[in-house]
Each structure stands twice: as structure tokens, then as C-alpha cells.
Chain A
């Protein structure tokens, strides 16, 4: 009789008792997921900014930069996590490194698109006003490129949240870990919690960054 009840509970989509008894596991998974995402997007920005600048200033390097970041993007994330586990162990770096790699294509493309979009009359005017190249970049070009850059950050963040769920398959934590645990045990509630939280996190990040985008760039024309 007892066994029968237990089986029924593992089959439930949302067994509140499981959620109530595992708040630490759920919170830890969520926290790891956020840490991975933030680290990956910040790391990605730090790396893609110089790469994009290089591509914009040296047109010869543009194809190379886009080609390499594009090539990284074709590596299946599942495999990259799996291959890196023996190299770095079950460490955060094993998750964050591939995730940084995957943000590069999105971020570099958007930064380049943003900087390309600055019209030459504007840069000429800045030059005419005596701006140094660095001052022109920081005070004129970057602000004008900001809508495209923030859009890139938004896409990269949401994509990264999705990719991070896969890291759990290699045992690396995050919300995907709840899904994996749920599939293996089986404990359907864990699958639901992991899946729903990862979707919620992505939606919240998308909405939050969308709001930040509008606040940061009030001059940007709203696109349809």
C-alpha cells in the first residue's frame, strides 16, 4: 500500500511535498544557473568588445573574427561540456568557458552592427570637433551603438539560460540538474520544477533586459 502511494507521487506533475522538502536543492540549482549565466555574459562581453573593435577597425580581420566565433557556435554544447569535464573536473569553469564561447558570435555581431550603424557624418563631425579616436569611440560611437549592443546582450542572456540547462547532463549543476535528477529517479515534479524555473528565468531576464534597454537608450526609435 505504501509503495503504491509512493509510485503515484513520483508520477505527479507537481507534488508539493517534494518541493517543500527540497527548497535548498531548488535554490542552489537556481543560484548556480544565475551565476553561470551572469559569468558567461560578462565574460563574453569582455572578450567580444575587443574582438568587435578589431573587426571594425581592421576590415581584413572581420571575416576571421566572424568565422572563428561562428565555428565555435557549431560545436554541440552537450559535447563541449562532456569533453571539458575530464579537463577541468566538475568545476564552474567547465560550464562557463563553453557558454562564453557561445555568447561571442551573438555579441560580436551585434557590437559590429551597432558600430557599423554609426553614420559617417556623425564620426566626421566628431573628428571635426577635435575628438581623439578614443574619445570619439567612447563618447560618440558607443552611445549610438548601445541599442544594438544591449539587444545583443539580451539575446545572448536568454540563449545562455537555455544552454546552461544542458550542462546538467554532464553533471555540472544548474536548473537542468533538477530535470536530470527527475528523469533518472524518476521524480516528475523535479522535471517540472527545473523546466518551469528555467523558462521563468529566461522570460524574466528577457523582460528585465528589455526594460533596461529602453531605460538606457531612451532616444532609440522603437522598432515594430
Chain B
């Protein structure tokens, strides 16, 4: 049993890349669903968290949301979601379900990181901005937000990698994406296809991480770029957890 060689052969077989169930199509499905989910989650979570962080209110709520978020197994969310929204056979509804579940998954790290990033801007810095005559909104947009950007982006990165990893499980409830190779391969006991699917998901997670680390560096104001390592995402213990679909 030479799994590695077989997997390489699988990738070399052009037939596996083409058509509506080929690698290219599945990759596009996977990326589409992930991007839509992350963008929706950002639109919902970031303004609220940034505003609350600016006002420094409901801090416990912001941190607790990340705990609750981790306690919700995404497979459970997906299963319930697919039941609420109904028929597994309709692709549009299926995609909607997947996206909703992924949005729910993406929100907690976004909220926590954005809140903490905003609220931990040192009081002296804010006071000096006020002392120079800046209005509340000016302080928010020209002082706090730029300083919070690295941490906000760390949250986006964590969420995105988590979403990409979890979009795999959507295949269990009938959705498309790279998880199909794993589910369909397992169903017919084709280990090569399972391993190929796993490789694709792992590579996509890695690519997401690398691309967003680059974006994080780009959007970080030049004055803050001195440290070579971008800040990590926050967690309850101020240590890090990242993407594993749970």
C-alpha cells in the first residue's frame, strides 16, 4: 500500500480535475462559500465590536462570546441548520445553510479580537488625541482603529482559517466543496481520494493563513510594523488556538 504515490497519481490524473465534481470546481465552491461566510461575519461582527471596544462597554460579553463559540460544535450547527432550512437536495438552500453555519463559527474570534484591540489602546494615547482637539469619532478612526488593526486582522485570520477548515464538514450534510472528496471517497472506501481531499484542504488552510498574514502586514500602519511577527489572535488565556474544524 503506497498511499503517497497513489495520491500523487490521483493528482496527475487530469480526469480528477475536470467537470462539476473535479478539483477545480470543488475548490471554487469551497473558496466561494468560505469568502461569502467570512465577509458576512465581518460585516456583522466588526462594526459592533469596534464600537463597543471604542466605548469600552460589555467587555465580558465580548470575551464570553468566544467561549460560547468554541463550545458550539460546527457539525451540530450544520446539522441543525440543514434541518431548519430544509431539503438537502436543493443546492441553493444547501449553500445558504453552510454559509449560515460558517458565519456563526466566524463571528466569535472576530468580536473578541476587535473588542480587545480597540479597548486596549492605552488611555494616554487617547487622552493626547483628545487633548489635541480630536472629536470622539476622529479618535476612533485616526487613533484607535489604526492601532487596533493588527489585532483585528489576527481575528480575521483565525476566523478565515477556521471557516476554510470547517467548510469541509459541510459535505456531510450534502453541500459541495473539497469535503466531497473525503465524504465520497470514504463512502466507496477509496482512501486515495480521501487523502487527496485532505491534502487539498490542508493546503488551502495553509494558503489562507499565508495570504492573510500578508494582508495583515499590508494593512498594519507603517509605524507599527517594527516587530517582524504579526500579533497572534487572542483567546481566553491570552494564548492561541487556531483552525481546527470542531
Task: Name A residues whose Cβ lies closer than 8 Å to a Cβ of B.
Answer: 13, 70, 73-80, 82-83, 85-86, 102, 105-106, 109-110, 113, 147-148, 151-152, 154-155, 158-163, 165-166, 169-170, 176, 179-180, 182-183, 188, 191-192, 194-196, 198-199, 202-203, 206, 223-224
Contacts and interface: CB of A to CB of B under 8 A. Distances in A.
Contact of B71 (A82, A85, A110, A158): A158
A223 B67 CA distance: 14
B34 to A, nearest CB: 13
A176 B241 contact: no
Nearest to A85: B186
Given A80-B198, A83-B195, A163-B246, A151 B71 contact: no
**Which 9 residue pairs across A and B have the least CB separation, nearest first?**
A162-B246, A151-B237, A79-B198, A195-B76, A162-B73, A202-B71, A82-B186, A76-B201, A165-B75
Interface string B190-220: 0100110110011001100000000000000
Given A82-B185, A188-B83, A206 B239 contact: no
B246 A110 contact: no
B240 to A, nearest CB: 6
Interface string B51-66: 0000000011001000
Contact of B169 (A158, A166, A196): A166
Contact of B72 (A151, A163, A199): A199
A110 B237 contact: yes
25 contacts: A13-B83, A74-B206, A75-B198, A75-B202, A76-B165, A76-B198, A78-B182, A78-B245, A79-B168, A79-B194, A82-B185, A82-B191, A83-B194, A113-B239, A151-B236, A155-B236, A161-B246, A169-B169, A179-B75, A182-B79, A183-B79, A196-B76, A199-B76, A202-B73, A206-B70
A188 B83 CA distance: 7
B73 A155 contact: no
Given A76-B165, A182-B79, A224-B63, A159 B241 contact: yes
A160 B240 CA distance: 15
B59 A76 contact: no
Nearest to B68: A203
B42 to A, nearest CB: 23
Interface string B170-185: 0011000001001101
Nearest to B179: A78
B186 A152 contact: no
Contacts of A151: 236-237, 239
B82 A183 contact: yes
Nearest to B196: A79
Contacts of A224: 59-60, 63
Contacts of A163: 73, 244-246
Contact of B79 (A75, A152, A179): A179
B226 interface: no
Contacts of B83: 13, 188, 191
B29 interface: no
Nearest to A163: B246
Contacts of B74: 162
A106 B172 CA distance: 26
B77 to A, nearest CB: 8
A170 B187 CA distance: 9
Contact of A194 (B79, B183, B244): B79
A203 B179 CA distance: 28
A155 B240 CA distance: 10
B238 A155 contact: no
Interface in B74-112: 74-77, 79-80, 82-83
B239 A148 contact: yes
B126 interface: no
Given A78-B172, A110-B237, 5 more contacts: A74-B202, A79-B194, A79-B197, A179-B76, A194-B79
Contacts of A158: 67, 70-71
B235 interface: yes
